[in-house]
Chains A and B, each alone.
Chain A
Amino acid sequence: MSAALRITNLVKRFGGLVATDNLSFDVEDGQSVGLIGPNGAGKTTVFAQIMGEHRQTSGSIELYGREISSDSTPERIRRGVSRTYQVPRPFTDMNVLENIRVGLMPNNIWQMITAKPRYQQETEIALSVGFTETDLQKTPGELAMGDLRKLEMARTIATGTKVMLLDEVFAGLTVAEIAQITVLIQQMRQDGMTFLIVSHDLKALEPLVDKVIAINYGSKIAEGSFNEVLNDEAVRSSYLGAA
């Protein structure tokens, strides 16, 4: 049985800077994996390469046993991987439902013209990430940071993804909102979703992950259970060094 996501010897150079340094790891189907590391460790850059926003310098990225490195971003999304952004990127002049609508659309001009929006599904997704009925018609400008993160998640869910990459979904959220997103992720895990989660909020991350991978300067410094990795000497000093 091949992994849902397999990263092998991934390298990304930005000029002289090595942002990803010979990184390899697997995320099994249905597994939830935490990706941690200090600021600038290269977590977001890994996401960008998985999605094809940055082309890796070398190494391979496989999704369900199939190499996706030559696919475009929309193609990768259709194969079942999708991400959220640390800095939310909503469609600014669209309300919550319309933002989700774009994610739900088929990538086919003719179907875009003929098919009606799936209002019910849009609403379900919006409510599942914790929006209230009154939020549905609001535009991103009227939403607080926590709500923008929820919208980011909702847009990703809408693509019908099987492997979700979450980049700092808890940043700027209230305790109640974190609890709500936690419940949502747990629910989705039970339904079989695979996760790769980047979070600085380790307390929020702990209950959500089966294993954790720690990176620093783009290379893996530890991998194992949450407690193993957090107690690792190299991980501790990397966080101290960055602070």
Chain B
Amino acid sequence: MNLRLTHFLMWLAFIALMFAIPEFVSKGTLRTLIFANFLAIFAISWDVLSGRTGYISFGHPFLIGIGAYTSAILTKRFDVPIELAIPAAVAMTMVGGVVVFLPALRIKGSYFALVTLAFMELMYQLVQVIRPDLTGGTRGMSGVQTLTRGAVNGYYLSVSLMLAVALSMWLLMRTQLGTALSAVGMNEESVRGSGLSVTKLKLFAFLTSAFVAGLGGAFYVHYLGSIAPRALFDINFLFTIIVAALIGGASTIIGPVIGAFFLTFLLEYLRPYLPGAERYFIYGMIALLLYMYEPKGLIAIFSKGWQRLRGGAGSEQSSAS
């Protein structure tokens, strides 16, 4: 069988499996999977920006927050229909993406990361003081309209959204644009020296990343039906996103997805043993060890194992014949 067909069938099997999952697992596991799907969307969003261009964003909860708050406020306080509120939220998040982009015109590396972290903190403070009648202040909002009822439907919605985002980002990054964005991450001067506008490429990466973050944030709030600012603008949430992308395999689309599922289940299975914040410490250690062992992430470990398996099967066949 040729390789392309094998790949295609594997993807088909994977997608079929994803859709069949609710038949086999408990409601609790399903809720964990829903979180994993959203985390995968956020990790893809982070990776499109930071994994590609090398501008490490510590501000992704800021973007996700804009998407979530905009849609929640529009639907709950102004009775805007949800199908208008979500696009509006995505548009607002893209405006937020431009705001995060501005410092990237001048600063790089850890300074950029710190500035974006400040955006997240600022947003946390702002929602508490400015118009708490709209944002719900420290306590956040509840009773936000939901799109689906029950874990099964929530799962189908989240998995569809995740696959749609993953597929479209994968297609986009396979084009020459993906090559150009990776080039920005490797050497900005040489990109400029190749006649390409680095500013334009960076702006596109920020807007695309914000688009996905806003979409994910808006859908997430309409799945949960509530917003808790303490959990959203939280350093643990931020690091979960980044670590998912990194240990899964940055600059690939499947990597952040694998990383998101791995982390979500790791955190979930650690929960009975470590109910508190120690859990994050353990998962941090595991992530660090994994990252040291294979900086290209789980995706590299899997594909090496897969190659060994194929290699092994191949030699068995040849010795049998």
Question: Chain A residues in contact with chain B, CB under 8 A?
Answer: 51, 53, 72-74, 77-78, 82-83, 85, 89-94, 98, 101-103, 105, 107, 109, 112-117, 155, 158-159
Contact = CB atoms under 8 A, between A and B. Distances in A.
23 contacts: A51-B193, A73-B193, A74-B196, A83-B193, A85-B193, A89-B190, A92-B186, A92-B187, A102-B183, A102-B190, A102-B196, A105-B180, A105-B194, A105-B196, A107-B195, A107-B196, A109-B177, A109-B204, A112-B176, A112-B180, A113-B176, A158-B194, A159-B194
Interface of B: 172, 175-177, 179-180, 182-183, 186-187, 189-197, 200-201, 204
A107 B200 contact: yes
Q: Which of B190, B192, B195 has the most CB of A within 10 A?
A: B195
B238 to A, nearest CB: 26
Given A94-B183, A107-B200, A112 B193 contact: no
Contacts of B204: 109
Nearest to B185: A93
A182 to B, nearest CB: 24
Nearest to B177: A112
A51 B179 CA distance: 24
Given A92-B187, A93-B186, A109 B200 contact: yes
Contacts of B180: 102, 105, 112
A115 B195 contact: no
Given A93-B186, A107-B197, A113 B192 contact: no
Given A74-B197, A92-B187, 14 more contacts: A72-B192, A77-B193, A77-B195, A78-B195, A83-B193, A89-B193, A90-B190, A91-B183, A102-B180, A109-B204, A112-B176, A112-B177, A158-B194, A159-B195
Nearest to A156: B193
Nearest to B171: A113
Given A91-B187, A109-B200, A117 B176 contact: yes
A94 B177 contact: no
